[in-house]
A and B are shown apart, each in its own frame.
Chain A
Amino acid sequence: MRLILNGKRRELNVHPLKRLLDVLREDCALTGTKEGCGEGECGACTVLLDGAPVNSCLVPAAHADGARLMTIEGLGGRHRLQRAFVEHGGAQCGICTPGMILAAVALGPKPSLNAIKVGLAGNLCRCTGYSAIYRSIRQA
């Protein structure tokens, strides 16, 4: 399969039904994408597929053929959301953080509080109670 992964062309030889999550973690050595439940409930494995957030544990590799894919590693380290999550306590244990930040990227700039709540409803966080995540996104 061919895809654009974090802005770079990649060619991968993987089973078409392999979970995209495992392709990223095992075949591409991108371990920033996390597995929390393996059933599409927690959002820890969120990546952006052609700009839209998907649970990579539910996406077979074949679906990403020809797509633009972004993982947390593709965001670099200086994105305004990344900095805001550190400054405002949006990241505690950090296991939901990569997925949470990518879901927030998909909301676009300056989302309303309601848009954040709805947009992140598929990303579970057990540490923060979400308030610090809202503050991080709104102040990014």
Chain B
Amino acid sequence: MASRAAKAVGRNVLRKEGHAKVTGAARYIDDLTFPGLLHARTIRSTIPAGQIAKVRFKGDRAGFTLVDHHDIPGRNIVALIDDDQPCLAERAIRHVAEPILLLVHEDREKLRAAEVQIDYRPSTPNYDPETSAIAFKSIAIDKGNVDEGFAAADVIVDGEYRTGLQEQLYIETNGVIAVPGHGVAGGDDGITVYGSMQCPYYVHRALMILLGLPAEQVRVIQTETGGGFGGKEEYPSMIAGHAALAALKTGRPVKLVYDRVEDMLATTKRHPSIIRHRTGVTRDGRLTAMDIDAVLDGGAYATLSAVVLSRGMIHAAGPYRCDHVRIRGRATMTNTPPNGAFRGFGAPQTQFAADVHMDRIAERLGLDPVRVREINALRPGDTTATGQRLGADSSALRVLREAVKRTDFKKRRRALASSNGPAEAGRHTPARGIGLSLFFHGSGFTGAGEVKLASKASLALTGRGARIHVASTEIGQGTRTMLAQIVADALGVPYEHIDVNAADTGEVPDSGPTVASRTCMIVGRILQRCAEEMRGRLGSLTPRQYLRKFGPLTITKQYERPAGMVWDDTLYKGDAYGSYGWGCDVVEVEVDRDTFEVKATAFTTVHEIGKAIHPTLALGQIEGGSAQGLGYALLEDVVMRDGRMTNATLTNYIIPTSLDTPPMKVVLLENPYPHGPSGAKGVGEMPIDGPAPAVINALRHAGFDLREIPATPEKIMAVAS
């Protein structure tokens, strides 16, 4: 087959579903309806800990169906890792907003007005992750011998750093519709669930276990999804289970779409952290020992805490080299709604601590923040905390130097410092500062994760090109577009001739969850191999000629671990990730000396991501992730009282608006990963790692010694001298 098609990779082709999204034609879950549709409402606990004593429905029950744990035909769990979380509480309550029963009715107004009285026998809740007796997971990473490292140090620097909860705040809330019957080949048995989600096969497995159904009787179809950011990684298994139980009990389709308040009160958030660093360093700035202890607040059930902790701990030493490292981490249980996946997955918390601590080390030694990072940044050939030897595809120094050059960092830092002189104090000029952060982010599942997942992807020949079959979801990041570009070039056909099937478990293989910065690097590479084989099979024939001559052709391939990758899950040693992206952020802040309000006034980021398959999409990930990171640093404050989020509205939980977001300069660098498609690494998560430490370092430069986010005016006032 001739390959005259213009290359798609590296070009800003039009997003596959772009037209549907700008015309209002794209169908999200709440836009769908079915004949005979019923609505459901979730009745939730109002106490953080205790036992359910009695449940009473008040008023007229006509037209209502009640669903509780007795209606569960399979196991009453939301299947994930530890299987500790019930789908509907039986007796024990571990957190506020724990689902107890579902009300189902065709009239939403009646549903809203219905009252259920629940009596409890409360017990004493624990909200302190440090004193919690229950650890969902503990991780230890050891490299060298920290005692030797401390003995070789001239100076020892200690620091304690804290990060808060953060809500994903996708603009489309969680929602699903469950329809009785699995529909494949007219099947009337089983269940079909449509919904807003990142991981259709997570939902598929959870439903099989909850409903006691075989795989072929459960079908999960992702609808257009209005943002996820991790918030639709594990939670959809819960809400899908609820709607499915209601649909099976009533024999009718059931819609369950949360309003904003319920979504904020009940669904997962980013784990808060408390992280302590003790670091040995020579007088000239070289790290000799890093001793790091971290606690993540897991909330009431295990959800994904074990793997969030894992990624967090692997990134805990930051992109720095040190021969002697000891990292201890645990994720513990508290009586708050479970915390879970959020873009970055533990790494934003631990790299916040690492990079704020790096500035404190520089300050203690009288070095500038660039110099201390230049001395210690990981270079090709160095080993990480897990002992992974870095290849030529690592770029810590390069991103640092580029960011310093682009922002004229050293000169700017001197200029701003002098603008904060004593003459200015007390005047109505803001305090100003500039700070930077250096960070990295592993692409794909941690350690042996990709081998265990054994993801599959398929490519089916069509008359004009090929159709992609994967469970990887489009959630705004551009999955359909980016995968089609990779396939188009490998197959040698125009981008427009590649179609992408819906992420429907009845039609696509399990290509793994859409998480962990893995879709491009891992799934993209599997598809590229499918396309390469398909191209070989076609030979000199066009797709149409091949189909006429030989009939249908589908190529399915599975993940293959690159040669030489080794990981020991017991010792936490080895190649934690196939490759890493590298980033450096520089932010300038102004602090109002009366109100302590902070404004980020300038933001520059340098990202090295291997290869930008679609530069506009990559830029979108970096700008959007950075804005979320700035919100994490400055604005986004989940206020918990008695185990309940007290500001669960968009009026009171503030995310950045257009007026809060500074102008962003993004510099893309490319240093190819040999096993990624066209050299690509992951890009989705890394942008959120950098802004928070850069902001706090800028605040320190402006004169405020804060070691905690979000940096609200109240906290800054408390440290202002």
Which residues of chain A have a CB within 8 Å of any CB of chain B? 25, 30-39, 41-42, 44, 71-73, 75-77, 81-83, 85-89, 91-98, 101, 116-118, 120-134
Partner of B22, one of A34, A39, A85: A85
Flag if A38 contacts B259 (CB, 8 Å).
Answer: yes
Flag if B172 contacts A39 (CB, 8 Å).
Answer: no
Flag if B22 contacts A82 (CB, 8 Å).
Answer: yes
Flag if A32 contacts B23 (CB, 8 Å).
Answer: yes
Bound complex: CA of A120 vs CA of B477, how far in Å? 22
Flag if A128 contacts B623 (CB, 8 Å).
Answer: yes
**Could you jot down 17 A-B contacts, CB within 8 Å?**
A32-B25, A36-B173, A37-B260, A41-B649, A41-B651, A77-B19, A94-B21, A94-B22, A95-B172, A101-B22, A123-B658, A124-B650, A124-B655, A126-B655, A128-B623, A129-B623, A129-B656
Bound complex: CA of A133 vs CA of B24, how far in Å? 17
> Besides A92-B620, A95-B170, A126-B171, 8 other CB < 8 A contacts?
A34-B171, A34-B226, A41-B651, A94-B26, A121-B659, A126-B169, A129-B624, A129-B661
Q: Please, which residue of chain A has its CB at the minimum distance from the CB of B603?
A: A129
Complex contacts, A118 vs chain B, CB 8 Å: 658-659
Flag if B650 contacts A37 (CB, 8 Å).
Answer: yes
Instruction: From known contacts A94-B226, A95-B171, infer whether A89 and B23 are also in contact, taking CB-CB under 8 Å.
Output: no
Flag if A91 contacts B626 (CB, 8 Å).
Answer: no
* B interface secondary structure, majority: loop
Partner of B624, one of A33, A77, A122, A128: A128
Bound complex: CA of A41 vs CA of B260, how far in Å? 11
Bound complex: CA of A121 vs CA of B658, how far in Å? 5
Complex contacts, A72 vs chain B, CB 8 Å: 22-24
Beta-carbon contacts under 8 Å, B15-67 to A = 15, 17-28, 30-31
CB distance from A97 to the nearest CB of B (A): 5
Flag if B475 contacts A93 (CB, 8 Å).
Answer: yes
Bound complex: CA of A124 vs CA of B18, how far in Å? 19
Complex contacts, B659 vs chain A, CB 8 Å: 117-118, 121
* A interface secondary structure, majority: loop
Instruction: From known contacts A30-B24, A88-B616, infer whether A44 and B171 are also in contact, taking CB-CB under 8 Å.
Output: yes
Bound complex: CA of A36 vs CA of B18, how far in Å? 20
A35, A39, A125, A127 interface centre (most CB from chain B within 10 Å): A127
Bound complex: CA of A129 vs CA of B666, how far in Å? 12
Q: In this assembly, does B619 line the interface, its C-beta being within 8 Å of a C-beta of chain A?
A: yes
Complex contacts, A73 vs chain B, CB 8 Å: 23-24
Instruction: From known contacts A31-B27, A35-B30, A128-B623, infer whether A86 and B19 are also in contact, taking CB-CB under 8 Å.
Output: yes
Flag if A38 contacts B28 (CB, 8 Å).
Answer: no
Complex contacts, B352 vs chain A, CB 8 Å: none
Partner of A92, one of B27, B478, B664: B478
CB distance from B660 to the nearest CB of A (A): 9
Bound complex: CA of A71 vs CA of B24, how far in Å? 9
Q: In this assembly, does B14 line the interface, its C-beta being within 8 Å of a C-beta of chain A?
A: yes
Bound complex: CA of A59 vs CA of B687, how far in Å? 38
CB distance from B652 to the nearest CB of A (A): 9
Complex contacts, B616 vs chain A, CB 8 Å: 88-89, 132
Complex contacts, A34 vs chain B, CB 8 Å: 28, 30, 171-172, 226
Flag if A93 contacts B171 (CB, 8 Å).
Answer: yes
CB distance from A54 to the nearest CB of B (A): 17
Bound complex: CA of A62 vs CA of B476, how far in Å? 35
Beta-carbon contacts under 8 Å, B154-199 to A = 168-173
Q: In this assembly, does B517 line the interface, its C-beta being within 8 Å of a C-beta of chain A?
A: no
CB distance from A127 to the nearest CB of B (A): 5
Flag if B23 contacts A75 (CB, 8 Å).
Answer: yes
Bound complex: CA of A134 vs CA of B22, how far in Å? 15
Bound complex: CA of A98 vs CA of B655, how far in Å? 20
Complex contacts, B21 vs chain A, CB 8 Å: 85-86, 91, 94, 97
Complex contacts, A92 vs chain B, CB 8 Å: 227, 476-478, 620, 624
Flag if A129 contacts B664 (CB, 8 Å).
Answer: yes
Partner of B627, one of A31, A32, A130: A130
- Binary contact track B582-618/A, C-beta < 8 Å → 1, others 0: 0000000000000000000000000000000000110
Q: In this assembly, does B225 line the interface, its C-beta being within 8 Å of a C-beta of chain A?
A: yes
Partner of A126, one of B259, B478, B617, B628: B628
Complex contacts, A42 vs chain B, CB 8 Å: 171, 650
Partner of A117, one of B171, B260, B658: B658
Beta-carbon contacts under 8 Å, B228-281 to A = 228-229, 259-260
Flag if B18 contacts A39 (CB, 8 Å).
Answer: no
Q: Please, which residue of chain A has its CB at the minimum distance from the CB of B172?
A: A95
Q: Please, which residue of chain B has its CB at the minimum distance from the CB of A78?
A: B23
Instruction: From known contacts A34-B172, A101-B22, A132-B616, infer whether A95 and B227 are also in contact, taking CB-CB under 8 Å.
Output: yes
Partner of A87, one of B14, B31, B628, B656: B14
Complex contacts, B173 vs chain A, CB 8 Å: 36
CB distance from B685 to the nearest CB of A (A): 14
Complex contacts, B117 vs chain A, CB 8 Å: none
Complex contacts, A93 vs chain B, CB 8 Å: 170-172, 225-228, 475-476
Partner of B171, one of A33, A85, A125: A125
